[in-house]
């Protein structure tokens, strides 16, 4: 099925409690979003699926949770204060600000040009200034006196936490090359961007891993991580491989630290866009921090009997961007037996916000105690939802639309035979199972959860 348009997903996300525009009661706040009761579960599940693949199921990667506010010298040494800029143009009439590459790439639709071929403002048609460089990092003040010495930065990536803790992890965890350090955390960038839901926001969550290896093995590991990460999107997040591609950066696109980056791109409703970058950061960061801090950040290579500075391969994914993609991919419209549209979010079970819904056939008091007993039986195992309002057909539709893989229906027969019905979201098949065997029957249908 072709991916839906973005408006369909934005509206479902709001209506069903996944993602809300932030501060809506005050008229909103550009490019910021709040995650609602179901969005927070989806986010947690995707983060957990990433952690599972990158840390829990591997011997060569460990986790980290570094402070967000840190010594500003970190950002000087990493090159971010000097080079983490976007060129921006301003409209001389309406004062709106744009990224010239976004204008060229058609992110604001068809653009008008003057008779000398210069782009006009897509908002009011006014004249645009020449591009000027703006640093993307947000600044803040630490302490009570606002002077230059108190300036700190909100992190624009999680990666630096891994580099400045390289020696700590190496010695405390007795690691040998190759090994990785992984972290998921919020990052901040002062992005000027056309509103495209959670694709590009001021505050977003990243899932990054720095994989330290011998310099001569870096090309091999780079290729390995590109394949591995693409596989994660298809096998775990459920993305159709036809809507994924790998694109190597042109030299002029490369970040200041990269000797080569390949993006895993997704075909969004508006065209191809980055989902994850897999970069060969070489020894850039470890050497930069070693120079700036005066600390030795080398590794003793027993094979070579020498100290070396490892190279780093970095798969850097966007958690919040993956949420948009997971919803776009899961969205399906089918005809039900009456010929009506049935909207289903066909999330893989591992990322579905609610795994099992408990639905008493009627709201009557006679069914409630048994239905509540079943709810109590299931909730220690999975994220569940109890719903007794409206007709059973409507409740099934509601669960389909939020992507709940399984519903358990409690009916009047249950009171006689101590059995319930499990209904499958995708096939809509129903099977009757005894309550004593319910947890096992559900576990069989939710493997690994
Ligand atoms: N440490 C490397 C790094 O940060 P990046 O390509 O700038 O690399 C990695 O970011 C991922 O983070 C991107 O592929 C994207 O998924 C996500 N990302 C970056 N900027 C974002 C933004 N403003 N809003 C949402 N996600 C963003």
| pLDDT over threshold 70, residue 194 | no
Q: Is 283 in the pocket of ligand 1 (CB under 6 A)?
A: no
Tens digit of pLDDT for each residue in 370-392? 999 999 999 999 999 999 999 99
Ligand 1 binding pocket mutation candidate from 46, 277, 312 (most atoms within 8 A of CB): 277
Q: Is 275 in the pocket of ligand 1 (CB under 6 A)?
A: yes
Of the listed ranges 15-24, 224-233, 357-366, the one predicted with least confidence: 357-366
Tens digit of pLDDT for each residue in 37-53? 999 999 999 999 999 99
| pLDDT over threshold 70, residue 131 | yes
Q: What is the pLDDT of residue 400?
A: 98
Q: Is 192 in the pocket of ligand 1 (CB under 6 A)?
A: no
Three-class SS of 60-124: CEEECCCCCCCCCHHHHHCCHHHHCEEEEEEECCCCCEECHHHHHCCCCCCCCECCCCCECCCCC
How far from chain centre, in Å, is Cα 289? 28
Tens digit of pLDDT for each residue in 207-223? 999 999 999 999 999 99
Mean pLDDT (the chain, rounded): 94
Q: Is 45 in the pocket of ligand 1 (CB under 6 A)?
A: no
Q: What is the pLDDT of residue 232?
A: 98
Q: How far apart are CA 186 and CA 205, in angstroms?
A: 4
Tens digit of pLDDT for each residue in 241-285? 999 999 999 998 898 899 999 999 999 998 999 999 999 999 999
| pLDDT over threshold 80, residue 412 | yes
Q: How far apart are CA 158 and CA 152, in angstroms?
A: 15
Segment 409-425 mean pLDDT: 97
Give residue 107's pLDDT band: very low, low, confident or very high (50, 70, 90): confident
- 149 Cα: distance to centroid of ligand 1 (angstroms): 29
430 contacts 446 by C-beta, under 8 angstroms? no
| Torsion, Cα of 410, 413, 418, 424 (10° steps) | -40
Give residue 365's pLDDT band: very low, low, confident or very high (50, 70, 90): confident
Q: What is the pLDDT of residue 339?
A: 86
Q: What is the pLDDT of residue 190?
A: 92
Q: What is the pLDDT of residue 144?
A: 75
pLDDT above 70 coverage of the chain, percent: 99
In sign, the C-alpha dihedral spanning 160, 162, 167, 168 is positive
Pick the residue with more confidence: 108 or 171? 171
């Amino acid at each position: 099925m072709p991916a839906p348009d973005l408006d369909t997903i934005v509206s479902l996300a709001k209506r069903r409690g996944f993602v809300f525009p932030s501060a809506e009661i005050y008229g909103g706040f550009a490019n910021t979003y709040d995650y609602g009761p179901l969005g927070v579960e989806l986010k947690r599940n995707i983060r957990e699926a990433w952690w599972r693949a990158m840390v829990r199921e591997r011997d060569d990667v460990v986790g980290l949770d570094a402070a967000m506010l840190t010594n500003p010298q970190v950002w000087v040494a990493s090159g971010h204060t000097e080079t983490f800029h976007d060129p921006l143009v301003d409209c001389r009439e309406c004062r709106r600000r744009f990224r010239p590459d976004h204008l060229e790439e058609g992110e604001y639709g068809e653009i008008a040009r003057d008779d000398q071929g210069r782009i006009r403002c897509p908002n009011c048609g006014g004249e645009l200034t020449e591009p000027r460089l703006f640093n993307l990092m947000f600044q803040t003040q630490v302490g009570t006196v606002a002077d230059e010495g108190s300036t700190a930065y909100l992190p624009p990536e999680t990666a630096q936490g891994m580099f400045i803790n390289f020696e700590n992890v190496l010695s405390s965890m007795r690691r040998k090359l190759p090994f990785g350090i992984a972290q998921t955390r919020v990052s901040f960038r002062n992005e000027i961007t056309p509103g495209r839901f959670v694709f590009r926001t001021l505050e977003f969550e990243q899932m990054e891993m720095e994989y330290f290896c011998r310099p001569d093995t870096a090309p091999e590991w780079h290729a390995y991580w590109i394949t591995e990460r693409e596989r994660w999107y298809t096998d775990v997040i459920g993305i159709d491989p036809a809507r994924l591609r790998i694109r190597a950066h042109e030299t002029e696109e490369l970040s200041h630290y990269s000797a080569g980056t390949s993006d895993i791109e997704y075909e969004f409703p508006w065209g191809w866009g980055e989902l994850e970058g897999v970069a060969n950061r070489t020894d850039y960061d470890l050497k930069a921090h070693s120079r700036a801090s005066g600390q030795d950040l080398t590794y003793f290579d027993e094979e070579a009997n020498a100290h070396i500075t490892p190279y780093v391969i970095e798969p850097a994914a966007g958690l919040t961007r993956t949420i948009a993609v997971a919803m776009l991919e899961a969205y399906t419209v089918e005809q039900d037996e009456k010929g009506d549209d049935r909207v289903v979010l066909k999330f893989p079970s591992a990322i579905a916000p609610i795994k099992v819904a408990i639905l008493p056939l009627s709201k009557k008091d006679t069914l409630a105690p048994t239905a509540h007993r079943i709810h109590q039986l299931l909730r220690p195992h999975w994220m569940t939802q109890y719903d007794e309002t409206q007709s059973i057909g409507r409740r099934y539709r509601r669960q389909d639309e939020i992507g709940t893989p399984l519903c358990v229906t409690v009916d009047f027969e249950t009171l006689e035979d101590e059995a319930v019905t499990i209904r499958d979201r995708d096939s809509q098949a129903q099977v009757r199972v005894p309550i004593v065997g319910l947890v096992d029957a559900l576990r069989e249908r939710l493997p690994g959860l």
